[in-house]
Structure 1
Amino acid sequence: MPWWSWLLIWTGLVLALLSLLAWFGLTLFRKAMRTLHALEDLGRAADLDPNALAAEAEPERFTPAVFRSRQELSDAVLLRHAAGARRRQLRRDRLIQRSKLMTHAHLNQRTDPHA
């Protein structure tokens, strides 16, 4: 191979490397700008009312189960079970409604080629 072919190959490889580095740099710059804009929006939201954000940050303090009463813990368990049963019932009702729609099509939804 002549000497100039090696020069063309290495020039192409260096240009490809530089273009990839520029693309990665541009991608990182865009991500950094998006992050800065998000942080700016967050800072603007925090400047609105710091007392309201502090109140939302701590709805209630955590107390370990050891320091709670047995009645309070059993009520929490019953409430969690009731919420799960309600979610299961709602899902069951949605599935039943969907299956009824699939099996009982209205007459106006059917197409009759002879009509």
Structure 2
Amino acid sequence: MPWWSWILIWVALVACTLVGLLLGGIYLFRKGMAVMRGAAEDLERVTARPPAAQTADDAGPAVVVRVPGSAVFADPERLREEYERGREQRRLARRDRRVARRRERGQMQSLSDLGLN
């Protein structure tokens, strides 16, 4: 084997190593950026403060959005009343969506949905 073949072999080995390191670095950089983007979104979601109250246009009273953990020191009776009121509002909203969906599809309405039962 001539002496210059060893130089070609070593140049090829070093070039392949550098290409492998470059591709590995690009891969790790892209994965790291994806992780940082996800962490930033999670951090933004966690640190974002909910609005004190959200109101719907003529849909009823304001809905209070609570900070997690605030119920620990709240009055249980008041929380129970809010829960019951919210449950009733959700039930009525489901009924309204069901009535609208059936009207839209031309289906028969339930008497209990229309309040005739």
TM interval, shorter chain, is 0.3 to 0.5
Looking at both structures, which has the greater relative contact order when contacts are Cα pairs under 8 Å and sequence separation is at least 6? 2
Compute the TM-score of the two structures, normalised by the length of structure 1.
Answer: 0.43
